[in-house]
Amino acid sequence: MTTRTTPLVSVGVTSYRRPLELENALDSVLGQTYRNLEVIVSDNCSRMDEVECVLERFSTQDIRVRLFRQDENIGMMPNHTFVLRKATGDYFLWLHIDDQIPQNYIEKCMDRFSDSEDIVLVGPKANAYMEGRYWYTYSTFSTLGQHAYHRFRRLIDIGYSQPSAFQQYFFGIFRRDTLAACVWEDGKYYWDGSFSLFFRISELGFLHLAEDVSLDKFNRKEDFKKWRDKNYCDKPIRFKFAGAKVSEVLPKTLDILVTLARSQQLTKPQKIRLMTLCIIRFISVLFTSKEALWKRVALIPYRLLRKALHITYYFLRKLR
């Protein structure tokens, strides 16, 4: 592809340590067949000589690389926001250093925008790997040609049944101005899971699939365990008492309700129907989940009795 007739695509790369993965990620993006790129790299205070060498080498070898170093670790999601705010292209792509993309990844995704001028996000197929072994394949998704009401209704059903079904779309290509429009008055993005971001963007246009390109996501058990523990341990006490499921679906439900209330694409009856559906789905998840509050409360007497029997048995053995 020539750079004279193609729009600029900004690629945001967030890095923290892991120099080998960083080198592979930068090699893959700079070797893309789509050449009109700016690559924004934000190192989240790695403080490693190996990382510094990789960053210096790529920033001096290719003028498309823009390098930023954080003076302190600002966290993963703020670092994602940072590279987005530094972008100047018409389109934007996040790239994690532990993901692998083929050489024609950006070109194939950009080709799908020609299917409709109202497409705001093109996502790829994707396979997930755990410790280098195939794990599972992500679901695919497209709302091309659907009215906002039908897009929202479909996403609500998916959001409560398969919230991670198409997370690979987070690493698809966005129209940057549409992504910027997803900032609320307080200047914060929807970072409580990618689903809320997709839901907000769906009001502004179509989500589409690049069916002829695939992303490979590589996971480590160590990172997965940290993510799982952090998602539970960092929650307020009310969420710990109610169960992890509540901490997942409650913020998402509030995001959906606010988005529906503010939507300019829906009529008032449509808003009411979708809000009602959202609340029904929320209640249904709580009552069908193994971590449902009522189930946990109902088990309290049983757990107390079992604990009392264990203590009694322990003291009886001591008395012997």
Total-model pTM:
0.82
For the chain, the domains span 7-97, 225-295, 296-320
Q: State residue 72's pLDDT score.
A: 94
Contacts of 226 (CB under 8 A, 6+ apart): none
Q: State residue 309's pLDDT score.
A: 83
The segments of the chain whose pLDDT lies below 70 read 1-4, 183-193, 223-247, 288-300, 320
Q: State residue 296's pLDDT score.
A: 60
- Look at the alpha carbons of 10, 14, 17, 20 in this order and tell me if their dihedral is positive or negative: negative
Q: Is 314 helix (H, G, I), strand (E, B) or coil?
A: helix
Which CATH superfamily hosts domain 7-97?
Answer: Spore Coat Polysaccharide Biosynthesis Protein SpsA; Chain A (3.90.550.10)
Q: State residue 60's pLDDT score.
A: 94
The answer to whether 40 and 10 are in contact (CB under 8 A) is: yes
Q: State residue 312's pLDDT score.
A: 82
To 10 degrees, the CA torsion angle through 287, 198, 118, 214? Answer: -110
Q: State residue 294's pLDDT score.
A: 55
The mean pLDDT of the chain is 84
